[in-house]
Every structure is written in structure tokens, then in C-alpha cells.
A and B are shown apart, each in its own frame.
Chain A
Amino acid sequence: MRYRFAMFTLRLDNNTWLLAAMALAIAPHTPRLPIWISLLCLAVGAMRLIEVRLPARWLLITLAAATAAGIYASYHTLLGRDAGVALLVAMLTLKLLESRTLRDSMVAIFISYFLVITHFLYSQTIPTGLYLLLVVLIITATLIGINHPGRQIEPRKQLRLAAVLLGQAVPVMLVLFLFFPRVPGPLWGMPTDAYEGMTGLSDSMAPGSISKLSQSGAVAFRVAFDGSPPKPEQRYWRGPVLDFFDGRSWSATAAPDPKPADITVTGDPVSYTLTLEPHNKRWLLALDLPAKLPPASRLGPHYELLADQPVRQRLRYRAVSYPNYRAGLYPGATELNRSLRLPALGNLKTREMAGAWKRAAKDDGEIVQRALELFRNEAFFYSLTPPLLGINSVDEFLFDTRRGFCEHYAGSFVFLMRAAGVPARVVTGYQGGETNPFGNYLIVRQSDAHAWAEVWLKDRGWVRVDPTAAVAPRRIESGLAAALPAGEPLPLLARMDNAWLMQLRMSWDTLNNDWNQWVLGYGQERQYDLLSRLGFEMASWKELAVSLTAGVGALLLAFSGFMLWRRVPVGADPASVIYQRFCRKLARAGIVRLPNEGPADFAQRTAMLRPDLALSSTSISELYIALRYAPHPNASDLRQFGKRVRAFQSQLPD
């Protein structure tokens, strides 16, 4: 007659929950997985859905071995981030094929939880977080369903209970987030393949490389200035400096002297906090020219800011720059020689023209002016889609096609200068940036990537010259979208026409920035900052561990204390809660309601024992009965009831 000890079997409902939870947990990985793993997942899921007989053990072992071999064939390893995730997904899926008992389902659920974490190895954005929260909710609901043997509970209740559980975990999560000891750098070593596919500047520049980058709307970095930001034409963010030309592309030579040449600065400094997105290279971006350097960095030979380690996670640093500077008045001979080198062959027409300029010019400054006038006065066009160039790329560009992006102008300008005997080099980086009015900071995107030139003039040192400014002045003043002629295909994010879209984009970026700064960027430094404000001076990880334990313990204690104090289950009928107060009050007066005593009986007994309370207790009981047992109780009755009980509580002395 009793079913209490009936064997637990996996029912279809729980099965469906489990499949849904796993599908949601696996789904975002599918674009990164080999197609055959996705197909395997689908096939196994379908098999479970139509409840095919589960395969025999030997077949299962063969299948698992074959899958592992397949993953090895796809990745040539079983270790690392990508192969590891693939292995986890495949084995979780295969687990379904031997899910017979409760324990098997529990294992599948816990692997699903673990799988949720692996998504953060790829993306840590707000949408990812929200999605994974949903997945955790579904997995938890599945866990609840599976551990609820008696009857199947309603899906809505299941979800609500899961949400309550997650809600209860929030305080613990906050304590862990704030107090878990942070170490500089990632907590655990990330596999090396985790840093592939990051976009950003590269250490060489060929025609087309920057225009390709400018199609990306991805954020390169964000800057918050202490004072007002510098004018747009001063916003040159220096990246890699390229001083070697092989006839087609520019690249950096490994400098033998890592010490930069002399710098003298004048004017007011600009100080700012820059949050750099990871790009897996060593350079840090800084406004020309940086004077105060962030920690763990140094100034390279060409005044570029270099970190000691590749930037593999979002980096936040402070820097101070002087827009007015004089640099490299007395450079070494090797540096100047390197800035004059050209390939032995090719681009004869350009060399010829440069030679003519050199003969005619009084000094180097005049040659620079002649080159800029060439770009300004002749029919040169600024374009994201220039024609392809052949072997003599500089000749073809300067004399035939005359359509190009900043890398064409910077590259050919430096070539001209070197051919005319003026030391020059290409500087890449970012120029401009978009002010976000909501967060009061500057967003610099990959589409702001830029290339310009630096020439060395006697008595003036290295001077920035931007040939693109001569062709398309608006590129420097107002950004890419304004500079491109109508009809050019624009990167989507550079479009400026739609006001509300623009506003939406800016608000979203502000949110992302805050997320980056305060959630993802909550590292050791910020933790120390917070703790010192709380009174922990120089907290060691031991103190942190103690406060962590104490914090979680205090939370749990507070929570259980609260539950004990309320003495009613969460989600109880409000009328019942108020009635309990009434009963407790009477209990203190010596009239204890028996647990199985109905409200009417209790009122009658109260009236008998304390005739002075008969009237009030009877009317309270009547209201309670009406609220709890009569059809259609209404809110005003409940208020009335609460009022009467409060009046009763104050009427009866303790």
C-alpha cells in the first residue's frame, strides 16, 4: 500500500528538464566545437527524448573511446581550453546514454554546472552572464525536480523554488566576491590557446591591414580623463612604431638600444585612467607622449609604452602625458640610419621625385611641406576600399590610383621622406575616440585605428606628421565616418545618423564600462582599496580568508536567526502569519492554542477562560476564518484583520 520505498526511476518529465538544461548549457559552445560533436549531442538528445533502449556497456565504452580519439584528431591534443571543453561536452552527452539511476542524473547535472563555468573562459560580457544565470536557474530547477520523488511538482513551482534558492545564494555570492583573496593576474594559469583570435593592432603594416581593422566596432580601450579631455587633433594614441620597409609592408626592427632618446616636456600634463581590452601583445596605448608610466611597464625605443607581459586580460592603468614635447633632439646614429633605410630596388618614380625635392629644398622642413602639399593639392582620395596595388606599391599609389586609407598615406609619406634623405618612420595606434556623455569617458574602438608618420628634423627632434590630415582633415577632427565620402561602405558602428540608436549604444557602453571597471576589474588593487576603507590595513590573504569565513558564517547565522524568529515558513499565507501573532499574544496571557485546535474552537475556549477578551477574540477569529477558509478573501479584510490584531496586542498587557 505504501509507495515510500518504491525504486526511483527517471521519469519523462525530469528527463525533459535534464535534456533542456544540458542543451542550454552546451548551446553557446557549439560554434566553437567541431561539427561532429554538435551532431553527436543532437543524436544522443533525440535518443533520450524518444526513449530508445540504452546501449550495452561494451558499446558505450567503445563509443567513449572513439569520441576521445575523434577529439584528439580534431585538436591534436586532449588538453587545453578548446579540447578540454570539447571533451567535457562530449562526455557529458555520452553520460546520458548510461543515465539509469538518480545518481547518473546527479552526475550529469553537476557536470552541467561545471560546463557553465567554462563559458567564462571565452566571454565575460553582461549578456553571457545573464544567459548563464538563466542556465543555472534551469539546471537548479532540474535538480529540484529530480530530488522530489513523491510526485512530480509543477514546472512553475520548480522554477520558483530554484529562483528562491539562487536568490538566497546572492548574499553569500557577494561576500565571496568581495572578500575572496585576489592574486595579481589570473587565479589559475589559462591554457595558452585561450588568447587566440584577439583583435588589435599588429606589429606590421601592409596596405589594407588597418582598413580591415577599421571595420571592427570592437572596443580597443576606454579612457577617463581627470580633467577635460584634449582636443580631437591631439588625441594620438601611440602604438607600435614601424621603421623597417621591405618593399611591401612596414614592420618594427628589434632595437638593440632599448633606451629611448631624450625627452623635454612643456605645457600642462594630461592625466587619465585607461582600461585596455586584452590584445595579447605587449604594447600599452598612451597619449603622446607619456611621462609617468604605469607599473610593470617601460618606454620603448620609439616612445611606445610596453608592458612587461603580453596584455591577456583587461588592464586598467593610470598614465600622465604631455601633449607638448620635444623628443630625440640628439638621437643616436644607428637610430637615424635605421630611419633612412629603404629597399634597394623598386618605386623608382617616387625616388626620382623625392630626389628632385631634396635638390630644390633649403632644409628638411620644406621637403615635408612639399609632400603634404602634394597630398593636399593633387587629386588624392580617402577611401576604405582602395584598389589593389602591385609590386611598386608606392609608385602605383602616388601616381596612378591615388585612393587609399591612412596606411597608404603614412607608408608612402615615410617612403618619400626617406628617399629625400629625411629620417622618418611609421607610427601606428589609434586616433580620436568617441566621448560617451553618460559615463563621461572616451571610447576608442578598433575602427579608430590609425597610422601616421614621424620625421626627424634638426633642432626639433621627432615631429609628428599626419599625411591623412592633409587629405581628409575631417578624419582627425570628427572621426572616420565624417571623413569618408558618401557611398563608402561604413562599419556599422561608425554610423552616426540615428540619434536614438546612438544614445542606446552609448548607454550600453556605459553599462559595459561599469561592468568592466567594477565587476571584472575588481582585482587585488580595488579589493585592498575597499578593505582599507573597511578598516583592514594591508590585509593579507590569511586575514581575507578569516573575514571570508566570518562573513559567510555571519550571513548564515543571520539568515537562520531570521527564519527562527519568524517561525513561519517562507511563502506562508499572510493571514496565517498575523493569526500566529494573535495566538502568541494569547499564549503569553496563558491561553495556549493547541496545534490541532481550530480557530472557532479556540475562540470559544478563549471566551470561556477570559470573558473580557471574548468580543475581540471572537471577531478576530471570525475575520481569520473568513480570510483563510471562505471564498474570495479580499485585501481590505486582510488589512482590517491586521489592524484588529495589532489593536488586540496593545490592548492586552504582557
Chain B
Amino acid sequence: MNAILDIKGLRACLRGRSENAYVIDGLDLTVQEGEVVALVGESGSGKSMTAFSILQLLPPAIHITDGTILLGGHDVMKMDVRTLRQVRGTQASIVFQEPMTSLNPLMTVERQIAEMLLIHGKATRRTAPGKVIELLELVRMPDAKRRAKQYPHNLSGGLRQRAMIALALACEPRLLIADEPTTALDVTIQQQILKLLLDLRDRLGMAILLITHDLGVVAEMADRVAVMYAGRIVEHGPVVELLEAPRHPYTHGLLSCLPAEHADPDERLTEIPGLPPQPGSIRQGCPFAPRCPRSDAICTEVEPAMTSDGASHYKCHHPWTAP
């Protein structure tokens, strides 16, 4: 298999703070062609920043200091502006978290999608409207012909997210980055959108990097999972192994937060004590050590290296044992 995305040793720094305020700190991540990889973690763990860095869309305050991001075999950080613009949308595209604000309120859906087709030469002014309808039908937008002429405010959240997905798919990217695509939607719409994404993956054969904090979504969607904490991947592996036999105490903690299937409704849910570290506050050792029930002296001194055990990969001195 070929890797469509291969990130190695990525470090991104928050400008204006101390030298070590890294929001992404030595991140390695690979996505193979046609694969669905879920990137999970708490808010502030650097998931979205990782997504933005792939297409060089990071806010001006954050800049990448080290590492390589190979997208389709080419390093996006070495690309000039022209090449980068060419890559955006055709190699990879992004579906954002907030369908309410991620479309231009003053442009019709049709114009926003057609614009994408036109700049990449995938349609002419004459053929664009037809292609837009096709795309909207692909994402099962009801009444696509009428919806195309409408503005974002005429559409509900779910429909806007469909329009956003149609936009992202317009130039047939090999990687779709979905940054919490269902967080802002209600549960039934969430299901429809997730099903749509999987269905599109099967039909179009693209890879999906799904960013989420919802482990239910992960179980349903992903082939592989990478767990992110404090700007780095602490554990990754195939979805079944990772969810059934987590090795890293953080993954273990995340999974114990979920309510059990037949739990007593009055029972208190377990939680991971403490808060994730602020960027720059971890100087040495394992970033999870202060919150970890299994940590000891070595954890606060030495940052564990990535260890492989069968299909599981984890960064921990005292992992849970495989069953």
C-alpha cells in the first residue's frame, strides 16, 4: 500500500510565547490510500492544528519548526505558493467542524462549489452548474437543483455540511480531512453524515482522516486509530485492537469514561483526573505522567519511545498488558 499522507516528527510552535510552547510536538502519522484513520483526543490536544498543518492552513500565530509532511509523496512545507494552491482541493481537502460559519454567507452554494471546479480547471463556466448538481446529488442533497441556487442561510446544519462535503469532494481529492464533521449536528443527522462519508469512501476510493473526540464515531468509522495527547501520538493501532485492548493508560482512561452498555443510570461515570497540559508546560518525561494512575519516577524523567507490540504501538513505560 502507498501512503497518501506521511507526517514525521512534526513540531509546531505558538509564536510569541516561550520557545517551547509546542502545540504539536513530535507527531508521526501515516494514512494509507483508501484508509479511514481516526485521530482522537481531548480538546486542545492539537488534533485540529494537525489537520490545518497538512494543507498549510495554520493560523498566523502558529508556525511549524520541524518535521516533514508528505502528501502524495511531496513535502507540503517545501512547496511554493502556486504548487500549494494546486495541491489544496486536489490532493487533500478539508470539511470543517462548523457548517454554520464555514460557507460564505453572500454566495450561493452553486457559486462556492463552482469556484473550486473552475480554479482547478475541472469544469468550464458552461459545464460547472451541471457538475455542481452532480456533486450535490452525490452527497444526497435533497432537491439538489433548487438547493444549488440557494444561500447557506437557506440550508439547515445537516444540509450545509452536505454542501461542504460536496465542495471538498469537487476535485476528487485522494485524502479527505474531516475535522469533527458531526460535532455541531444533532445525533440523527450525525449518523446520516457519517454513513455518507463511508459510502463515498467506498465509491470514490479516497482516504479519510477523521478528527474526532467521539469514540463511538471511531468504532463505527475507522480502520485505524491514533490517540493524540499534548501534541503527540501516544498510541495507535487497528481499531478493534485499540478499542478492545488499549495499552496506553490514557487510551484506557478515555475508554473507561464511556458509560457501560447496561450501566446503572445513577452510577457516576469515571473520568480522567486533572486537565491536559498547557502547551509548553511539559519540560521532560511523559506528558501524561501527572494524570496517570500507573506513573512512577521514570515517567517524570524520561519520555517513553514508541514501542511496537504486534499491531499495537504505544509510548508508555508501564503499558496495560495485552489480554
Q: A and B from one assembly? A: no
Residues of A in contact with B (beta carbons under 8 Å apart): none
